[in-house]
Structure 1
Amino acid sequence: MTSPLEAADLRARVDKALAAFLAEQRSRLTGIDPALVAVAETLEDFVLGGGKRLRPAFAYWGFRGAHGPDSDQLVAAVSALELVQASALIHDDLMDRSDTRRGEPSVHRRFEARHTAAGWRGGAAAFGDSAAVLLGDLALVWSDELLHTSGVAPDDLARARPVFDEMRTEVTVGQYLDVLTQATADTSLDRAGKVARFKSAKYTVERPLLLGAALAGAPAEVSAAYSAFGLPLGEAFQLRDDVLGVFGDPDRTGKPAGDDLREGKRTYLVAAAFAGLDDSGRTELDAGLGDQGLSLDGVTRLRGLIRESGALAATERRIGELMTASLAALDAVAIDEEARDVLHRLADAATRRTV
């Protein structure tokens, strides 16, 4: 059976739309100054070099579920979500001090290395950080440009604009809450759930579905069902991401083993571990979280504590509960049957993945 990400040849069409848009931006930047070739090339590599294209897929099939007709203009519009994603990842890697993304150097590390190789003045790390802030901002600016130059009818864009704007606000404040939670060492399940909801869940599934629904002019009951389907699914997606951040295989995730532990991420998984451990276990887990020099043995020990606490099993149960609620909501609404089938399969792919 065709992968849900390949249905309607969507992944290739999204990549084509992004490549065409980024080629135009390259010409625009190089016309300003040849030094901007590095900016254009880095964003092209970052955006086109990987990614699951889940967000455009949910938006596209949300549109098709509301009986909207397929078009290249639609594909270009939903491809704007990948530029929002690029912005979030570039900034996330900078805030987390991550060295790699998808097995390649993160953007701030690329520009740090460029500074070092050229022997420029000032601090190489500070230059890399500044470049990453600006490239992340540029990707966010371009997301707006790609949406409104997609060729979608102005009335359809006018309906979609509030959804797009709300999504970008939510993911940004969700990132701040994530940073705040690490700084305050908040280990409550309530805070972990809120961070997961706003940093990832809404922006990964619910808002893309609602964007597609808005572009199609879907009735209110379809949009409500998409929210009831998308929000729990997005939370399940983030919980799977949290599990992979601690227990994932680096050869598959492209990130060092236990990277979330070194970054001190206060995820649902970690909050559940604190709730299930005794005082000595909590003390040991708290001491290891956020230790940038945590060894592989230290990672193994913290993984063991999380397993022993019952948090891993509890998180897997929670993923199952969220999936049950999500699919029930999707099955209760009248939408296009092909779209329903693909959305089912996208849900499965999003929560059973290993990368």
Structure 2
Amino acid sequence: MTLATGHDTDATASSTADLAPRLADELDRYLRDRCAPGVAAEISAALADFVRRGGKRLRPTFAWWGWRAGGGAPDGPAADTAVRAFVALELLQACALVHDDVMDRSATRRGRPATHRAFAAKHRRSCWAGDSAGYGDAAAILVGDLALAWADDALVTAGLPADGLARAWTPWQAMRTEMIAGQHLDLLAVARREESLEETLRVARYKTAAYTVERPLHLGAALADAEPAVISALRVFGHDIGIAYQLRDDLLGVFGDPEVTGKPVGDDLREGKRTPLISVGLSLARELRRDDVTRLLRRCLDDRRTDPRTLAAVADALREIGAVAALEQQIAALTASGLRALEHPGVDPDARRALTALAARATSRLR
């Protein structure tokens, strides 16, 4: 199956663009209602600011096209209720990102100080008692916890019929657990200095693919009461495109432009993460007997060296031994297999075109 082109691309881009203001309105309404003055005013305001700050909104977009793929109508009361329910996905994403930044000691997010850094800076400016960094971490953890609680609330209070909520609850439960499990697998991989490509792909599957693409599609299709075979096809698509998305993210982590991505280059290396890109690089270095590359990569990972000169040397080495080309090939293969799954005749044609365009956006993006 080929990527959508011409009129099809224009039509699906327009349909996806139509979703953006609907989602933004529902997000804003929900946050406005929940951010009334109260005991959680400061962390509520921080969460609302974080969510409103932007992001790609991929998860609710995939959920919407899961809804459409399963036969959900684009307009009407049921569609409006579905969009309200998909607000939960942006709040779940906020939980993941805020906690991830604390665990990874990230300095920035979306071009601004990460939540824990912002709270730490406020503590220092205010000359409060105690450790500023510790205060920032604790406050950010609470912001993430609040996001998770509000995500559940958003789904439950969206106005879904009882049978629709019951169908949605299965993928929603799985998604929350898989997201947390993926974070734990990521921590374990760093602690164990995991270099197996199989294991790093497992981390990518649970930390990113499942809750970014596969489960949002599953959630939307379940709400639409889609046929089991359609849900299965969408999950295969989501699995493959989700992993390809993470592989692209790995490449951007080394070769991306911080002005475009909103986060510093080299964060994964600074955290000692053996991403699939690094795993492939180490494997190729061993096969080619490039001990110099092996030493460079391990020194960078173990010593957490991310000065510009070291990062440039790592980038050059990964290109030279073919790791970048190998990852690009894997991205292409996963994208192709994901698109083949969409050929199932039960998938709505408009949704198929939109998901094909979204696959291209997710796997060849610049940010």
Q: With the length of structure 2 as denominator, give the TM-score of the two structures.
A: 0.92
Q: Distance in 2 between matches of 1:4 and 1:180?
A: 39
Choose the corresponding residue for 1:63, options 59, 64, 67: 67
Of 179-188 and 252-261, deviating more is 252-261
Q: Given that residues 265 and 290 in structure 1 are in contact (C-alpha distance below 8 angstroms), is that contact kept between their aligned partners in structure 2?
A: no
Q: 2:31 aligns with which of 19, 22, 33?
A: 22
Deviations 1:263-295 (A, max 9, x none): 222111010000011233212211101544521
Whole-angstrom CA distance in 2 between matches of 1:306 and 1:122: 44
2:202 aligned residue (167, 176, 194): 194
Tell me the amino acid that sits aligned with residue 233 of structure 2. Answer: A
Asked if the contact 2:209/2:242 (under 8 Å) is kept, the reply is: yes
Partner of 1:180: 188
1:311 maps to: 323
CA separation in 1, counterparts of 2:165 and 2:176? 16
2:133 is aligned, of 125, 128, 133, to: 125
Aligned to 1:13: 22
**Is the 8 Å Cα contact of residues 5 and 54 (structure 1) preserved in structure 2?**
no
Query: Are residues 211 and 290 of structure 1, via their aligned partners in 2, closer, same or farther at CA, if it must alter by over 3 Å?
Result: farther
Is 1:163 paired with 2:167? no
AA partner of residue 315 (structure 2): R
Aligned-partner residue type, residue 84 of structure 1: L
- For 1:325 and 1:346, locate their aligned partners in 2 and report how far apart those are by CA, in whole Å: 15
1:37-56 to 2 correspondences below 5 Å: 37-56=41-60
* Contact 1:5–1:53 (Cα < 8 Å) also in 2: no
Cα separation, 2, equivalents of 1:65 and 1:73: 17
CA contact (8 A) 1:77 1:146 kept: yes
Counterpart position of 1:322:
334
CA drift of 1:305 comes to 1.7
Point out which structure has higher relative CO (alpha carbons under 8 A, 6+ apart): 2
Which residue of the other structure, out of 95, 98, 102, is the alignment partner of 2:106? 98
Q: C-alpha deviations, 1:140-175, integer Å up to 9, x for none?
A: 111000001011111101011011010110011111
The one-letter code sitting in structure 2 at the alignment partner of 1:85 is: Q
The alignment-based identity, stated in percent, is: 47
1:303 Cα deviation after fit: 1.1
Aligned counterparts of 1:235 and 1:257: Cα–Cα separation in 2: 20
Residues of 2 paired with 1:113 and 1:151: CA distance? 40
Amino acid at match of 2:341: A
**2-side partners of 1:108 and 1:8: how far apart?**
32
Asked if 2 retains the 8 angstrom alpha-carbon contact of 1:101 and 1:254, the reply is: yes
Instruction: Note if contact 2:43-2:142 (Cα within 8 Å) is conserved in structure 1.
Output: no
Q: 1:3 to 1:342 in 2, by over 3 A?
A: closer
Unaligned runs of 5+ in 1: none
Structure 2 residue identity aligned to 1:21? Y
Aligned match for 1:231, one of 211, 235, 239: 239
Q: Is the 8 A contact 2:210 2:238 kept in 1?
A: yes
Q: 2:269, 2:305 within 8 Å by CA — same for their partners in 1?
A: no
Aligned residue number for residue 4 of structure 2 = none
Change (3 A) 1:316 1:214: same
Q: CA RMSD in A?
A: 1.4
> Which of 118, 123, 139 lines up with 1:115 in the alignment?
123
2:250–2:277 CA contact under 8 A, matched in 1: yes
SS in 2 for 1:89: helix
Would you say the 8 A contact 2:12–2:350 is kept in 1? no
The code of the aligned residue for 1:64 comes to R
Deviation at 1:5, TM superposition (A): 8.0
Cα deviation for residue 102 of structure 1 reads: 0.8
- After superposition, the Cα gap between the structure-2 partners of 1:64 and 1:3, relative to the gap in structure 1 and judged at 3 Å, is closer
Show CA shifts across 1:212-258 (max 9, x none): 11111111110110111110010000100111011101110111122
Whether the 8 Å CA contact 1:167–1:202 is kept in 2: the answer is yes
Q: Helix, strand or coil for the counterpart of 2:35? A: helix
Aligned-residue offset at 1:6: 5.7
